Structure formats: structure tokens, C-alpha cells
Structure 1
């Protein structure tokens, strides 16, 4: 079993890409046109959880639980504000639209000479807010991505 650090992970925003009723596959995502979101400090979490559907049975005196719809959550990204960063500019522009956008993450887990893992999904940019804090703080851009698809995982590969 091998574990990896988050540092070195990169996140990108792509073109508008409409959500669909079935799961995405890798070939649904563009191969070009990705813009890296720079100066990231935190990448938050992403992944499916199921809604709970509860039924309280009178005769059994037992609550039964079923799985409902799946929700991939809200990914909260924190960046140091960089007005010259094209990725941050793309995120700010995307927040002003009602569209979903392709998102790609490249993890820092490549084996020697190999290729790293990747994650792909579709999300709305729900927020792009600035955080200023105190004198000895870096001004931050806080990005909220409402994930509207499954997460497509591409495993790291040996050379």
C-alpha cells in the first residue's frame, strides 16, 4: 500500500460541458483547452454520497433506510488571489454563467517514469469569493464547485 501527498496536485477548468442523465466516461471530456487554476492552497473534498430515504415501520418498530439519489457534493477550493492567473480568471467568468464546466484534477502519484492519476467531473462554479483576513494573511479566492456528475477516475500507470 502506498500513500501520496496532496502537494503537486493540479486542478484545471475546461469548456462548458452540460451534465447528462447517465454517468460520464473519459471520452466525454475534452483532450485540449484545459486551463490550470493557479496558486491553490486547498482542494477540499469530492465524491458521491447517497441521500437517505427513511421508513418507520409501525409493526416492526424499526426505521428502515434506503439509498436515494447520489450527490457528489461541493468542492471547496482555496487559492491565493492572483489577478494574472488565467485559471482564476476562467473560474470567475464561469461563476457568472448558469453552465456546467469540465473539471480535471491531476494527482501527484505517478510511479517513476509513469503517468499520474486523474479525476474528471462536471460542475457549476457556484461561488468565487475573496477573503482578506488579517495583516499577516494571504488574500484568498474561495471557489465552490457544485459537482453535477459522477467522478471519472483514471489510475496512475507504470512507464
Structure 2
């Protein structure tokens, strides 16, 4: 069993990409022009969680649970502010629109001579706020990605 560190992972933003009625697959992201978002400090979490539907059965004296809709969450991204970084500029611009954008995470888990794993999804940029904090801190750009699709896993090879 092998585990990997998050360090070395990269986050990219693509163009506006509409949602679709079926789950995305890796080829749905072919042709995207990816721009790396620089100075990432934290990538947050991403992945499906099912809503809980409950039913209280009187005769069984038991609450029954069903799985409802799936939600891939809100990914909280933290960057050190770089006013000249093309990825951060694209992220801020995406927040000003109503569109979903393609996103790509490339992990640092490639086997020797191989390719790393990836995660692909679409999201709305729900926020892009500056955190200025105290004297001995780096100014940060905090962005929230509202994931609006399944997360496509591409395995390392």
C-alpha cells in the first residue's frame, strides 16, 4: 500500500462548460485549455455525499434512511495572492459570471516514468475573497468552488 502527500498537486481552471444530464467522463474535458492556478496553499475537499431522506415508521418503531440526491460539495481553495498569476486572474473573472467552469486537479502520485492521477469536474466559482489578516501573514485569495457535477477520477498510470 502506498500513500501520497498533497504537496506537488496542481489546480487548473478551464473554460465555461455547461452541465449535462449524465455524469461527465474524462473525454468530456478534451479540448479544454487549462490554466494553472498558482500559489495554492490548500485545496479543500471534493467528492459526493448523498442527502439523507428519513422516514419514521410507526409500526416498525424505527427510522428508515434512504439515499437522496448527490452533492459533490464546495471546495475551499486558498492561494497566496499573486496579482499577475493568470490562474488567479481567471478564477476571479469566473466568480463574476453565472457559468460553470471546468476544473482539473493533477496529483503528485505518478509512478516512476508514468502519469499522475487527476480529478475533473465543473463548478461555479461562488466566492473569490481576499484575506488580509495580521502583520506576519501572507495575503490570501480564498475561493469557493461549488461543484456541480460528478468528480471524474483518472487513475495514475
Quote how far apart the aligned CAs of 1:50 are: 0.2
Match of 1:37 in 2: 37
For structure 2, list consecutive stretches of 5 or more residues without a partner in the other structure: none
- 1:7-156 alignment, distance < 5 Å: 7-156=7-156
Mapped partners of 1:68, 1:76: distance in 2: 24
- Contact residue 15 and residue 32 of structure 2 kept, 8 A: no
Quote how far apart the aligned CAs of 1:20 are: 1.2
Match of 1:6 in 2: 6
DSSP-derived class of the 1:84 partner: coil
Mapped partners of 2:32, 2:65: distance in 1: 43
Write the deviation string for residues 23-68 of structure 1: whole angstroms up to 9, x where unpaired.
0011111334100000000000000000000000011110000000
Write the deviation string for residues 106-150 of structure 1: whole angstroms up to 9, x where unpaired.
000001111000110000000000001100000000010000000
Write the deviation string for residues 75-109 of structure 1: whole angstroms up to 9, x where unpaired.
00000000000000000000000000000010000
Quote how far apart the aligned CAs of 1:21 are: 1.7
For normalisation by structure 1, the TM-score amounts to: 0.97
Mapped partners of 2:30, 2:46: distance in 1: 20
Dislocated runs of 4+, deviation >4 Å: none
For structure 1, list consecutive stretches of 5 or more residues without a partner in the other structure: none
